[in-house]
Homo-oligomer: A and B are copies of this chain.
């Protein structure tokens, strides 16, 4: 055991609570009182364990990626491009409308437009959204090489289209759209696939 007084709270659980607040209120809308209240700790404990609000958001974002957005990589591993997109849409719908968490997607609603202070956060979220789009594009390029997608397909255009639908569904979910609604959207969106 480490030297010194042991930490009286579970940093993983506290991070989950913080993530919940950030998902619900966004980066700017989440105040430190909101965060400490949800995490069940006092400010000094938060700062000792996580640095500051920006660093806490970064750690919550990493946790979000591995816990709630893990479906993304799994989906891309499906054997065909169509199955991959199906899994992507289904997974995103489940994640964005999960009853246990605030609706929507942290990458979209965390900080779409914000003040100057939060601009690094906005840029990081933008970067991660673009990263996801790039992964999908690579997957489509592979499918094209394998003959799974027709030779006249544009992987870049298709990836941007699917990403746009995913992001639109995040907005819909934030606005209260239900699972059934979004499944129909996904079904319609899938019709463009060959």
The count of identical subunits is 2
Q: How far is the CA of A161 from the CA of B177 in the complex (A)?
A: 12
Q: Which applies to chain A's interface (DSSP): helix, strand, loop or mixed?
A: helix
CB distance from A192 to the nearest CB of B (A): 4
Interface residues on A, range: 35 or more
- Interface flag for A179 (CB, 8 Å): no
CB contacts under 8 Å to B, within A129-173, are 129-130, 154, 157-158, 160-161, 163-172
Q: How far is the CA of A115 from the CA of B187 in the complex (A)?
A: 34
Chain B residues with CB under 8 A of A184:
154, 157, 160-161
The 10 closest A-B CB pairs, nearest first, are: A168-B168, A29-B115, A164-B168, A26-B113, A167-B171, A109-B113, A109-B112, A29-B114, A161-B188, A167-B168
Chain B residues with CB under 8 A of A167:
167-168, 171-172
CB contacts under 8 Å to B, within A2-52, are 23-26, 28-31, 34
Which A residues fall within an 8 A CB radius of B? 23-26, 28-31, 34, 102, 104, 108-110, 112-115, 118, 126, 129-130, 154, 157-158, 160-161, 163-172, 174-177, 181, 184-185, 187-189, 191-192
Contact of A185 among B104, B113, B161 (CB under 8 A): B161
Chain B residues with CB under 8 A of A113:
23-26, 29, 102, 104, 109-110, 174
* Contact flag A112-B171 (CB < 8 Å), given A161-B188, A164-B165: yes
Interface centre among A157, A171, A172, A176 (most CB of B within 10 A): A171
Chain B residues with CB under 8 A of A112:
26, 104, 108-109, 112, 171, 174
CB distance from A154 to the nearest CB of B (A): 8
Judge whether B181 and A126 touch: CB under 8 Å: no
Contact of A29 among B28, B34, B191 (CB under 8 A): B28
